[in-house]
């Protein structure tokens, strides 16, 4: 979708894992197991959790820079298998669906910008508690060559869905989300519910920080999101 700035709409770019769904520790556990499955030893659970939010190939390079392509491929496959067994335990954060509905009621487009696969949305949307029609659209890893922390995912999401960058904010939960948003030229509202502590998000440059969807809802009127219209 293209158009002039006048044609474009204000919107919110929403990360999913660790922002709307309580999945980061499940991903960390699955990656920790997957690295061991691939023969990579010495990776701690803490290091794995800190890396969640990076695209798979880059995550492995971040955790195990000496791993070869075969090992990386094996780890990625193992993570998918390990995580699939944990999906039944995924729960939405308190008031995640309410946040989306509040954004739509305020006249904002709501676009999911996730490094996951489009097929994941088949179970993610019901887990969040919303239907397809509530979400304006989504952009996934299939739409870009490089995922977070590169800004490509957010840039493509704004272009695809006609969002005005000057009236768009991103919401995420990791330092990688902060980096991607700022490189894309938009503000980043960070949540601590994904397990990354406030001081790390502050050091990364998050524009605002809340505990999670419910906390942002409670402070809506003083947040950057309320000023988008």
Residues paired with residue 21 on neighbouring β-strands, in sequence order? 17, 92
CA distance to 23, 67, 92, per residue, from 87 (Å): 9, 27, 12
Architecture per CATH, domain 24-89, reads as Orthogonal Bundle (1.10)
pLDDT in tens, 169-221: 999 999 999 999 999 999 999 999 999 999 999 999 999 999 999 999 999 99
pLDDT at 1: 42
Q: Domain segments of the chain: what residues?
A: 9-22+91-227, 24-89
Which positions ≥6 away from 222 have C-beta within 8 Å?
A: none
C-alpha dihedral sign at 114, 47, 205, 201: positive
Quote the CA–CA distance of 126 and 35 in Å, as a whole number. 30
- State the residue for tokens 């929403």: 14
Under CATH, what is the fold of the domain 9-22+91-227? Rossmann fold (3.40.50)
0.85 surpassed by pTM: yes
pLDDT in tens, 94-115: 999 999 999 999 999 999 999 8
């Amino acid at each position: 979708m293209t158009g002039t700035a006048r044609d474009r709409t204000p919107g919110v770019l929403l990360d999913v894992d660790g922002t709307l769904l309580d999945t980061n520790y499940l991903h960390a556990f699955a990656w920790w197991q997957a690295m061991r499955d691939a023969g990579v030893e010495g990776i701690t659970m803490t290091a794995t959790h800190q890396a969640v939010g990076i695209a798979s190939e880059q995550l492995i390079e971040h955790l195990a820079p000496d791993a070869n392509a075969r090992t990386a491929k094996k780890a990625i496959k193992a993570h998918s298998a390990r995580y699939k067994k944990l999906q039944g335990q995924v729960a939405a954060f308190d008031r995640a669906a309410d946040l989306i509905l509040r954004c739509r009621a305020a006249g904002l487009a709501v676009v999911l910008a996730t490094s996951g696969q489009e097929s994941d949305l088949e179970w993610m949307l019901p887990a969040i508690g919303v239907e397809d029609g509530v979400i304006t659209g989504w952009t996934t890893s299939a739409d870009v060559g490089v995922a977070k922390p590169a800004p490509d995912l957010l840039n493509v999401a704004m272009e695809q869905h006609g969002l005005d960058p000057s009236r768009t904010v991103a919401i995420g939960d990791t330092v990688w989300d902060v980096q991607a948003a700022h490189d894309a030229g938009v503000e980043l509202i960070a949540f601590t519910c994904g397990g990354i502590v406030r001081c790390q998000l502050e050091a990364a440059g998050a524009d605002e920080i809340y505990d999670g969807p419910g906390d942002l809802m409670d402070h809506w009127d003083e947040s950057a999101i309320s000023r988008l219209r």
